[in-house]
Amino acid sequence: MRRTTTNINTTNINTTRLAMRVRFLIALLVFSTAASAQATQTLIINADQGRDTISRHIYGHFAEHLGRGIYDGIWMKKSDGSWQIRDDVVQALRAIKIPNVRWPGGCFADYYHWKDGIGDKARRPTLVNNNWGGVTEDNAVGTHEFLDLTQKLGTEPFVVGNLGSGTVQEMSEWWEYINQPGGSPMAKQRAANGHPEPWNVRFWGVGNESWGCGGNMRPEYYADEFKRYAGFLPGYGRVRPFRIATGPSDDNYNWTEVMMRDAGRMIDGLDLHHYMLTGTWAQKGNATQFGEAEWAELLQKATQFDALIARHSTIMDRYDPQKRVWLVVGEWGTWHQGEPGSNPSFLYQQNSLRDALVAAVSLNTFNQHADRVKMANIAQTVNVLQAMILTQGDKLLMTPTYHVYEMYTVHHDAVMLPMTLDAGRYTFGDRTMPAVSGSASRDASGKIHITLTNLDPNQPRTINASVRGHAVSSVTGRVLTSDRMTTFNSFEAPNAIHPVAFSGAKLTGNALSITLPPKSVVVLELR
């Protein structure tokens, strides 16, 4: 009996010890997980190793004849039925130092015949926009009107010529009309239409999406067409054409390979297009009604932009090791369902904090690839897709993406500074991605700017940063964030989200401690 009792007591003791050990291991696991979630990350900025310049043209824009982008967007109809450029739109775009505007498309470009949009407006023929809703427009906005806009904005035009349904002669004459100094038939016609001086436009797209809506071509066929059309764009005076070829869609690496192999010597820029969305193309996600699953899906796609650009760049490097040819990201951004009640062909969508983070991550990526990516054009400027500005009658609001572009003006034409970033990981379900995105630059006055984005919508991220090769005496910053990941600016609440002063950075010597709020974009200035 005693022996039996002793065995029973020993078993109980062993069981108790096992239970205690299991509880200890569980507690240790919970503690480790919590510690990991709040782990301090590191950032090293090599301020003395900057080499490549971040081209301001990375921060370019796109204005297509689509929906309410041109008409009832940048242009407003007056009481007499004519159209005028909106001064408030011009002022807002000038504030973000808009460097270039791509026009007239997009798919619209390969249906557009430029001679329909010059001369007496009362005599211009109407046009049915077969790509975007079958809308009839009166060609009130044409070459003169668009180039007047770019002059008001103080920006460079990026004109896309019609290769899909046009002719070599048509494109060559348009180039002549815009740039020939005088004496030629097209220059005389330009003068007769009220503009004796040439506009000196250099950025010229030879077709758009020639693999799709611009002609459904094979890359081998388009390469030959590109060379034929580009050969009829002569230099005029001090203007030489910067010839931008249709580049690949997304991960069509074969297109890049063929174009660089067969036409690379005549190409100045290769135009990559890449859109990001949740769901499927047939059933896209909602712009403002989403949960963390859709948040993670879209932000993961933004982080994958880096690998996409790296692979296309690697192919280009084989044919162009001097990196003469620009990788132009001519169309990019988020694509959601249209807003309820809007024409679905008009691609009018709202723009939330989530879109702002996609923009910040993408721009950081472009900055990091400054040796090859020299131009990019977000789609689009006003009232279409991931717009900077939304209008409603005479009202106007700036979207969260607009505010990112304003914050990132500090990188325009600044020297990209190499950085080593322990980005950490943000995981939701089976999706995992870098938790932090960043880029850094030094401007002409010697100030260093760092842009950082915390993709984690739940946890702050603390970063211990050091700046090598540059003495730092002060740090200031601003932050764009909100309590809700779905926050957006509406006409009822146009300032629901906007940048505010950031106090989460502390400087000790050349060491910097930065606490990024969840779901935030931060810009820091170091002096």
- Return the active site residues: 209, 331
As a whole number of angstroms, the distance between CA 85 and CA 66 comes to 17
Tell how strand 75-77 and strand 83-85 pair up: antiparallel
Contact between 182 and 196 (Cβ < 8 Å): yes
As a whole number of angstroms, the distance between CA 66 and CA 104 comes to 9
Contact between 109 and 162 (Cβ < 8 Å): yes
As a whole number of angstroms, the distance between CA 91 and CA 74 comes to 11
Q: Give the CA distances from residue 29 to residues 23, 33, 36, 63, 448, in Å, rounded to whole numbers and listed in that order.
A: 10, 6, 10, 53, 40
As a whole number of angstroms, the distance between CA 513 and CA 42 comes to 9
Contact between 342 and 385 (Cβ < 8 Å): no
Tell how strand 269-276 and strand 326-334 pair up: parallel
Task: Write the CB contacts of 468 (distance below 8 Å, at least 6 apart in sequence).
Answer: 44, 45, 46, 47, 48, 510
Helices marked H in 336-408: 353-368, 400-407
* CA angle, residues 463, 467, 468, in degrees to nearest 5: 140
Task: Quickly list DSSP for 392-418.
Answer: ETTEEEE-HHHHHHHHGGGGTTPEEPP
Task: Write the CB contacts of 497 (distance below 8 Å, at least 6 apart in sequence).
Answer: 353, 356, 400, 403, 480, 481, 482, 487, 488, 489
Task: Write the CB contacts of 186 (distance below 8 Å, at least 6 apart in sequence).
Answer: 173, 176, 177, 180
**Count of H-run helices and E-run strands, the chain:** 11, 27
As a whole number of angstroms, the distance between CA 373 and CA 141 comes to 31
Q: Give the CA distances from residue 394 to residues 72, 77, 141, 245, 391, in Å, rounded to whole numbers and listed in that order.
A: 9, 10, 19, 38, 7
